[in-house]
Amino acid sequence: MLHIIFYEPRIAGNTGAAIRLSANTGSMLHLVEPLCFEMEDTKLRRAGLDYHDLAHVKVHPNFEDALADIPGKIYAFTGRGQTYHTAVSYQDGDGLLFGPEPTGLPDSAMEHPRIEDLVRIPMRPGNRSLNLANSAAIAIYEAWRQLDFVGGE
C-alpha cells in the first residue's frame, strides 16, 4: 500500500478530493493535525462524494505519529526539490508527503531524518504551485504505475 500524507491541511475540498483519490487507488491517506476544518465539513464530504466508506483515512495528532505508521521511505513534495517525481523508484509502503495550502511544507518537516528526498512535479516557470489534491493525484498515480497498478484494473 502506498501512503499519501497531508501535513496540516487547510482546505476541506482538497482533503475531500484526496479521500476519493485514496479510495480509487487503494492508498492510505494520513492527515496530520491540526486540521483547519472538521472531518464532517460539508465541502469535505461533497468533494469525497460517497467514497468515505471506501477510503483508508487516518488522522494523526502530530507528524511523528504519522511517520511511525508508514513503513517505507518518505518523499517530501516541494517546489524546492531537485528530483522530479518521475525519477523516484517508489516501493510498496512508501509515503508521499504534501504541505498545507498555501505555505507548503515547513523546513522542520523537510529536514526530518525520515525524508528520503525532496521531490518536485515539473511545471511552467514563474507559476507558484499546483492545487494540493491535483499534486497528490499526479504523484500517487506515478508511484502506483511503477508498482504495475497492483490491486487495480
Say what the pLDDT of residue 91 is. 98
Domains of the chain by start residue, with CATH: 3-146 (3.40.1280.10)
All three cell numbers of 93, joined, read 509502503
Say what the pLDDT of residue 24 is. 92
Of residues 8, 20, 31, 3, the one with CA closest to residue 133: 20
Going residue by residue through the chain, which has 153 residues, state the pLDDT in tens, using 9 for 90 and above: 999 999 999 988 888 889 889 999 999 999 999 987 767 656 555 544 455 566 788 999 999 999 999 999 999 999 999 999 999 999 999 999 999 988 899 999 999 999 999 999 999 988 888 899 999 999 999 999 999 999 998
Say what the pLDDT of residue 129 is. 82
Residue 99 assigned ligand-binding role:
yes
Say what the pLDDT of residue 126 is. 86
Contact 25, 2 (CB under 8 A): yes
Q: How far is CA 67 from CA 14, 37, 71, in A?
A: 21, 22, 8
Residue 27 assigned ligand-binding role:
no
Distance from C-alpha of 30 to C-alpha of 117, rounded to nearest angstrom? 19
Q: What is the pTM assigned to this prediction?
A: 0.90
Say what the pLDDT of residue 13 is. 84
Beta pairing partners, 117: 75
Largest CA distance in the chain: 39
Residue 115 assigned ligand-binding role:
no
pLDDT in tens, 9-34: 998 888 888 988 999 999 999 999 99
- Three-state SS for 73-103 is CEEEECCCCCEEHHHCCCCCCCEEEECCCCC
